[in-house]
């Protein structure tokens, strides 16, 4: 069963452009991770001011493997080598995919 992991980022208004630029320049490592299915960076329009980093994985295990390995590289080390984060907070939402559909002609 696929799982969806959404990292919810609190981003001050003046940091939005910085955040989006960082994602534009992201390492692109997630695409080659085993079990990775989908990524979207979602900019808030209505109902929230938070950015959602949507990721979808074949299984919880695949997500955990990414978290314990390539994720660190995709976040430029996480060892203080990167500049101050554009986001001031984050929290993780987890879901299991129980139903899905796509456009008939897609």
Q: Does 72 bind ligand HEM (CB under 6 A)?
A: no
23: how many CB neighbours lie within 10 A of its CB? 13
Q: What are phi and psi of 68, to 5 degrees?
A: -85, -5
User: Which of 12, 17, 27, 40 lies at the binding interface for ligand HEM (CB under 6 A)?
Assistant: 27
Number of residues engaging ligand HEM in binding (CB under 6 A): 23
Q: Does 7 bind ligand HEM (CB under 6 A)?
A: yes
d(CA 6, CA 15) in angstroms, rounded, equals 20
Q: Bin 70: left if φ > 0, else alpha if -120 < ψ < 50, else beta.
A: alpha
Q: Does 87 bind ligand HEM (CB under 6 A)?
A: yes
- Catalog residues that contact ligand HEM under the rule CB under 6 A: 5, 7, 9, 19, 22-23, 26-30, 39, 53, 55, 74-76, 82, 85-87, 90, 92
């Amino acid at each position: 069963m696929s799982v969806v992991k959404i990292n919810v980022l609190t981003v001050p208004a003046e940091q939005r452009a910085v955040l989006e630029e960082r994602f534009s320049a992201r390492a692109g490592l997630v695409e080659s991770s085993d079990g990775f299915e989908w990524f979207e960076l979602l900019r808030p329009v209505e109902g929230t001011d938070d950015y959602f980093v949507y990721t979808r994985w074949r299984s919880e295990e695949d997500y955990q493997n990414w978290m314990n390995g390539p994720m660190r590289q995709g976040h430029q080390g996480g060892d203080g080598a990167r500049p101050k984060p554009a986001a001031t907070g984050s929290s993780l939402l987890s879901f299991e995919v129980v139903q899905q559909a796509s456009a008939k002609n897609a």
